[in-house]
Structure 1
Amino acid sequence: MNGISVDELKANILVVDDESINLRLLSMTLAQKGYEVRCAKNGELALLAAQTNPPDLILLDITMPEMDGYEVCQQLKADSTTCDIPVIFLSALNQTLNKVKAFNVGGVDYITKPFQVEEVLVRVKNQLSIQLLHKKLLEQNALLQKENYERQQEITERLEAERKLEQLAAELKRSNQELETFAYVAAHDLQEPLRAVTGYTQLLVDEYKDRLDESALEYMDLIVDGASRMQQLIQDLLAYSRVSSRGQEFRPIDVNDLLRQALQNLQVAIAQSNANISHDTLPTISGDKTQLVQLFQNLIGNAIKFRREEPPQIYIAAELKDDNWLFSVRDNGIGMKPQYLDRIFEIFKRLHTRTEFPGTGIGLAICKKIVERHKGRIWAESQLGRGTTFYFTVPEYMS
């Protein structure tokens, strides 16, 4: 191949010369090197051939009848379909002015006749190499422009996403402020009428119980019970709403101390149920002490509440897995069917009636919210009549 690239072998070359001998020599020499060669004997035929099927390079004689090489080259460069075709002049004119004019009209090289075929081949190869390099540079430039456009689009989309995120953050802040306002109203204004209902109902019972029959007294008890349950529901909703808005700064906390405090808060329920509670040596983690005490208190309280006839057996453990502490609270209680395990963490979702087990159905929803604030997750495994194990994770190192 004599070092000629595949792309150059595919090159289409137009030879323009009014001398038949030159045409035959050049076309034969170029064809032997693998080029596709076309010939034109004058300027008009050259322009027609170039416009019909633009070649990769033109070898152009200057001295021709009717239209010389300079004019042919000028017309080629003026046409958008042929302006980028490299033109090498071939001429017996050896004056500097002739060469300068050839370059001024758009030629890229100049070969003086009589020429050596070896020189023609080298100059053709050089110009085709330059043309190929120029083509590759244009392709790379187009690719870079495309990549730059796509990157600009990504930046625009990222900026738009950041703007929306900032907007969502502002809306969340406003929503939290509204939630704080609701919490204040719930803590004061909503509970005051309930206290009034409970108080006046109790006064009616105390002052008029001799005049009231059993049905009336039963109705009074139902009123007091309903108001009390409403107060408890409001207090639980407050606790749920304040998990995120009223949380304390995370600090290193010994979970053994948290558990002791939770058990102290549950001492009456533990004593009444004869619950036996044991645990592993627990780690130190980073978190909100008040909320984590509430988490353990809710889970252990659940195990005590949903017990069978025998005393509750509750075991708390922890192990390090994949940079997370995995905690478990296992009991021997009544258990539940596996199909209900997903819904128990939803607010107000209950699997039992209030007459079977008291409560508002918010305790486990609060647990889920606390665990998620600590960048973990919570789930349960259970079988009906064979107890339940609650699992939750907390990162080993909190950022």
Structure 2
Amino acid sequence: MRKKTHSPGELQQELVKFFELSLDMLCIADLNGCFKRINPAWQATLGFTTEELCAAPYVDFVHPDDRDATLAEAARLTAGMDTIMFENRYRCKDGSYKWLLWHAHADFQTTLIYAVARDITERKRAEDMLKATAAELTRSNDELSQFAYVASHDLQEPLRMVASFLQLLEKRYDSVLDEDGKEYIHFAVDGAKRMQALIQDLLSLSRVQTGVRPLVPVDCAKIFRDASDNLRIAIAEADATVTCDSLPEIVGDNVQIAQLFQNLMDNAIKFRGTGAVRIHVGAVRRPGAWEFSVSDNGMGIEPQFFERVFGIFQRLQTREQLPGTGIGLAVCKKIVERHGGKIWIESDLGRGATFFFTIPDKKPGTSG
């Protein structure tokens, strides 16, 4: 069966139909900057008639702030370079402006420019709203972090005074206090100390969010030694064995990386099981990042709590069972995220837990 062939005239009619039906703004312009032919989408988008748009140089319809860039792009076209993903604003008949996205090609045999523009005004409006929302969220978070820092800092001294005077009261009037009185003072002192610990942890959390320092080379082997030294009393009391792989040098905030290691190691000691305590810090090279792990043989965590433990004030045990404020792992998560990494858990209840985190490669001097 022979296929039907189309005459040049029929092909021309088909192309004209596509030209007329396109929702995108199609145009043909000369190298002098005037439209020679435009499709109906132009009038539908801008409101000007075909005659009005073709009667003046197209740059006359361009937003004044975009004219230099538009003329520069036109010069690129006449130099033989295609226009790809160029954006500018065109005036509508009602005086408003529409954002257009352009692709264009110059044909030097016909000395004409063939171009297609798409109305992206709604997309640009959505992008502006997103930027404004993000800026407002950043401002709000900064204010909240600053408030938390100031409030926590200002609360420390009154609490320290309360605890000190209660202890002085207990010491000076020990002989006249009955057992109930001593117990009440003990409860008050304990409450003040727990509040001080909570404030310290809140300060740590706010410092992660507000204390942006340039990233520097960090020797993780030294960080591990320093963390082990800081935790030596807790390690000795738990009779724990703490080991590590050969740890790399990374680029990060050295103060926060030290806090991250120490918090995770302290967490492993705190949530130990009944047997001999073993803690191991490892590191594996991944594409574009180092992946660290802090493993223990402690009590472990059930899978449904893997995400919850990283929330602020989230605890799986009561204060009577284990001390703590429920902020330590939230601080770890903030530190890792500030460095552009991820943190997660693998664990079985009663068989220990491994906390993994990644620190992506970065150049010294950049910010997290």
TM-score between the two structures when normalised by the length of structure 1: 0.63
Give the match for residue 187 of structure 1: 153
Q: CA deviation at 1:164?
A: 3.0
Give the match for residue 307 of structure 1: 272
Q: CA deviation at 1:222?
A: 0.2
- How much is the aligned-residue C-alpha RMSD, in angstroms? 2.7
Within 1, Cα distance between the matches of 2:189 and 2:335? 32
Q: Is residue 37 of structure 2 the alignment partner of residue 158 of structure 1?
A: no
Q: CA deviation at 1:141?
A: 5.0
Please point out which of 155, 161, 164 is paired with 1:199.
Answer: 164
Aligned-residue identity in percent = 41
Within 2, Cα distance between the matches of 1:279 and 1:295? 15
**Consecutive unaligned residues in structure 1, runs of 5 or more:** 9-128
Q: CA deviation at 1:156?
A: 3.8
**1:185-213 per-position Cα deviation (integer Å, ceiling 9, x unaligned):** 3202x223322321332232123222211
Higher relative contact order (CA 8 A, sep 6+): 2
1:318-397 maps to which residues of 2 (within 5 A)?
A: 318-397=283-362
2:148, 2:206 within 8 Å by CA — same for their partners in 1?
A: no
* Structure 1 letter corresponding to 2:234: A
Give the match for residue 297 of structure 1: 262
2:148, 2:202 within 8 Å by CA — same for their partners in 1?
A: no
1:270, 1:304 within 8 Å by CA — same for their partners in 2?
A: yes
2:281, 2:292 within 8 Å by CA — same for their partners in 1?
A: yes
Give the match for residue 133 of structure 1: 12
* Structure 2 letter corresponding to 1:352: Q
1:341, 1:380 within 8 Å by CA — same for their partners in 2?
A: yes
**1:28-85 per-position Cα deviation (integer Å, ceiling 9, x unaligned):** xxxxxxxxxxxxxxxxxxxxxxxxxxxxxxxxxxxxxxxxxxxxxxxxxxxxxxxxxx
Q: Is residue 108 of structure 2 the alignment partner of residue 143 of structure 1?
A: no
**1:106-163 per-position Cα deviation (integer Å, ceiling 9, x unaligned):** xxxxxxxxxxxxxxxxxxxxxxx44651551352354273588685443541343134
Q: Is residue 133 of structure 2 the alignment partner of residue 254 of structure 1?
A: no
Q: CA deviation at 1:345?
A: 1.0
Please point out which of 208, 218, 222 is paired with 1:243.
Answer: 208
* Structure 2 letter corresponding to 1:179: S
Q: Is residue 240 of structure 2 the alignment partner of residue 275 of structure 1?
A: yes
Q: Is residue 249 of structure 2 the alignment partner of residue 284 of structure 1?
A: yes
Please point out which of 167, 177, 180 is paired with 2:143.
Answer: 177
Q: Which has the higher helix share?
A: 1
- Secondary structure class of the residue paired with 2:312: coil
TM-score between the two structures when normalised by the length of structure 2: 0.68
Q: Which has the higher strand share?
A: 2
Larger of the two Rg values belongs to structure: 1
1:247, 1:291 within 8 Å by CA — same for their partners in 2?
A: no
Q: May I ask how many residue pairs the two structures share in their alignment?
A: 277
* Structure 1 letter corresponding to 2:22: L
Q: CA deviation at 1:298?
A: 0.5
**1:363-382 per-position Cα deviation (integer Å, ceiling 9, x unaligned):** 11111111111111111111
Give the match for residue 265 of structure 1: 230
* Structure 1 letter corresponding to 2:262: Q
1:53-72 maps to which residues of 2 (within 5 A)?
A: none
Q: Structure 2 vs 1, CA of residues 364 and 175 (structure 1 numbering), >3 Å: closer, same or farther?
A: closer
Q: Structure 2 vs 1, CA of residues 153 and 266 (structure 1 numbering), >3 Å: closer, same or farther?
A: farther
1:254, 1:283 within 8 Å by CA — same for their partners in 2?
A: yes
Q: CA deviation at 1:266?
A: 1.2
2:145, 2:209 within 8 Å by CA — same for their partners in 1?
A: no
